[in-house]
């Protein structure tokens, strides 16, 4: 891959003098969905697929961007004096947002760069290609300018840029999973205080399989913000009767006791998901540590049911992928992953069942939905680095 991006860099920018090459992964969340903005736990891991970059510093303020995923756009030029989000800037809003965010945090980016990117995360799949670009940009800026910021700081800057520059109100999970990724490990992160531990993903005789629904996300982002505010309102209602800082502070029993304080059935369901999903995530990690992969899988399945019935973020595409997966012998667990409303499912599938899984789920999906799903057998990889 390094050769490919260097060759392309030369073709696009004329020569490769002073160029360095980098990689940042994508991520998949195994369990703990829509808990990261509710003070709960998440359990994602970095993947070996992600975003590659070839980059070099310039001596002026110019920014030149080229993506091998959007070749038709050619070289997009901008400047450090123009770090303002715009529709025309397209994908470059992500790296530009990170440059802006560094400045906001007192780390001024003083010179521009020539940047070329290539991502092998399937497009729009919900495996965090944007967070991957954000963390990658942060990593490159730290390398070029010697900023004193650790990888956790890169995650926070990435999230800040996404929230403030790109106006997507996401939580910390994606950027954290990418910046802190570790080969063959998932990250058990408590989003209330960012404390975390690594847990080995040793799925003896099984693999993680991602199915992409290929459903384009449309209303997704607005629904995401809607869920966030439903949870915030439910929290405020609960805080009138019980002393908590976030929904993640509640266990199921305490929630049952006080739930009548929530004034609408819809908000009660949203809060129930946030509370139960957090508890499920804690139990799932315990199960994995005790080598009980079967229980881990059951909790993944329960997570999907809760996201479908209480949080209502699945939709017919993700439900079809998951419900068909549950029918296949050798599937240990299957659920939607990421924000929902399209995107991907994640399944743990025994090695000998993977072909049948792809065949059966793929056929049933196409018959019901009218277009194909894509399948990826993935590996858990490291965080960002120079390559």
Give 124's contacts (C-beta < 8 A, 6+ positions apart).
216, 217, 342, 343
Q: Which is closer to ligand GLA, CB of 112 or CB of 248?
A: 248
Catalytic pick among 36, 114, 174, 319: 174
Query: Do the beta carbons of residue 55 and residue 115 sit within 8 Å?
Result: yes
User: Is position 174 annotated as part of the catalytic site?
Assistant: yes
- From residue 376, how far is each of 14, 49, 212, 323, 330 by CA, in Å? 35, 10, 8, 18, 17
Please tell me the distance from the alpha carbon of residue 335 to that of residue 347, in angstroms, as a whole number. 6
Of 170-178, 257-265, 266-274, 314-322, which segment contacts ligand GLA by CB under 6 A?
A: 170-178
Dihedral angle sign, alpha carbons of residues 215, 94, 48, 285: negative
Interface with ligand GLA, residue 170, by CB under 6 A: yes
Per rule CB under 6 A, is residue 39 in the interface with ligand GLA? no
In the complex, minimum distance from the CB of residue 81 to ligand GLA, in angstroms, rounded to a whole number: 30
- Binding span for ligand GLA by CB under 6 A among 32-40, 68-76, 238-246, 287-295: 32-40
Report if residue 134 touches ligand GLA, rule: CB under 6 A.
no
The least distance separating ligand GLA from the CB of residue 115, rounded to whole angstroms, comes to 23
* Least gap, CB of 338 to ligand GLA (angstroms): 5
33 binds ligand GLA (CB under 6 A): yes
Given 76, 173, 206, 361, the residue binding ligand GLA (CB under 6 A): 173
Sole window of 1-9, 28-36, 251-259, 320-328 interacting with ligand GLA (rule: CB under 6 A): 28-36
Size of the residue set binding ligand GLA (CB under 6 A): 10
Site for ligand GLA in 331-350 (CB under 6 A): 338-339
Q: List helix spans (H) across 40-185.
A: 93-104, 129-145, 151-164, 173-179
Q: How far is the CB of 203 from ligand GLA (least distance, A)?
A: 22
Q: What is the token pair recorded at 85?
A: 């989000």
User: Of the two residues 22 and 37, which places its CB atom closer to ligand GLA in the complex?
Assistant: 37
Residues 187-219 as b/e (b if ≥16 CB within 10 A, e otherwise) read bbbbbbeeebeebebebeebbbbbbbbbbebee
Q: What is the enclosing helix (H) or strand (E) of 65?
A: strand 62-67
**Residue 34 binds ligand GLA (CB under 6 A):** yes
Identity of the residue, 189 or 339, whose beta carbon is nearer to ligand GLA in the bound complex: 339
Q: Rounded to whole angstroms, how far apart are CA atoms 156 and 158? A: 5
The verdict on 171 binding ligand GLA (CB under 6 A) reads: yes
Q: What is the SS3 string spanning 6-64?
A: HHHHHHHHCCCCCCEEEEEEEEEEEECCCCCCCCCEEEEEEEEEEEEEEEEECCCCEEE
- The secondary structure of residue 377, as a DSSP letter, is E
Name the minimum Å distance from CB 327 to ligand GLA.
26
Least distance to ligand GLA, CB of residue 246, Å: 14
231 to 290, contacts with ligand GLA by CB under 6 A? none
Which residue blocks in 189-291 are alpha helix, DSSP H?
220-239, 252-258, 265-289
Instruction: Please give the residue ranges that form the binding site for ligand GLA (CB under 6 A).
Output: 33-34, 36-37, 170-171, 173-174, 338-339
- Residues with a known catalytic role: 174
């Amino acid at each position: 891959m390094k050769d490919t991006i260097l060759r392309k860099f030369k073709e696009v920018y004329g020569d490769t003098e002073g160029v360095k090459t980098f990689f940042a992964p994508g991520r998949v969340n195994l369990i703990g969905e829509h808990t990261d903005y509710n003070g709960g736990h998440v359990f994602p891991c970095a993947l070996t697929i992600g975003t590659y970059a070839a980059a070099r510093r310039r001596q002026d303020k110019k920014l030149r961007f080229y993506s091998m995923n959007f070749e038709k756009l050619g070289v997009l030029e901008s400047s450090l004096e123009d770090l303002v989000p715009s529709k025309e800037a397209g994908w470059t809003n992500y790296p530009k947002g990170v440059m802006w965010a560094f400045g906001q945090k007192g780390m001024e980016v003083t010179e521009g760069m020539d940047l070329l990117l290539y991502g092998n995360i399937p497009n729009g799949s919900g495996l965090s290609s944007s967070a991957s670009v954000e963390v990658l940009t942060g990593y490159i800026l730290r390398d070029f300018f010697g900023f004193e910021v650790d990888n956790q700081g890169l995650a926070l800057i990435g999230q800040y840029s996404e929230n403030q520059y790109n106006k997507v109100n996401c939580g910390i999970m994606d950027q954290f999973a990418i910046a802190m990724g570790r080969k063959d490990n998932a990250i058990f992160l408590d989003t209330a205080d960012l404390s975390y531990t690594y847990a080995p993903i040793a799925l003896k005789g099984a693999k993680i399989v991602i199915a992409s629904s290929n459903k384009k996300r449309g209303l997704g982002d607005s629904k995401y913000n809607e869920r966030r505010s439903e949870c915030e309102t439910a929290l405020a209602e609960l805080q009138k009767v019980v002393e908590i800082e976030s929904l993640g502070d509640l266990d199921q029993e305490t929630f049952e006791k006080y739930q009548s304080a929530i004034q609408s059935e819809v908000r009660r369901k949203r809060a129930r998901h946030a509370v139960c999903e957090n508890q499920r995530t804690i139990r799932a990690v315990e199960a994995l540590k005790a080598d009980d992969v079967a229980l881990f899988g059951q909790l993944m399945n329960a997570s999907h049911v809760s996201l479908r019935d209480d949080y209502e973020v699945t939709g017919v595409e993700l439900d079809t992928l998951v419900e068909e997966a549950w029918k296949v012998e050798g599937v240990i667990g299957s659920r939607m992953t990421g924000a929902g409303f399209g995107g991907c499912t994640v399944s743990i599938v025994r090695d000998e069942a993977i072909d049948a899984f792809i065949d059966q789920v793929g056929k049933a999906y196409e018959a019901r939905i009218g277009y194909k799903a894509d399948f990826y057998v993935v590996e858990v990889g490291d965080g960002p680095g120079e390559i």
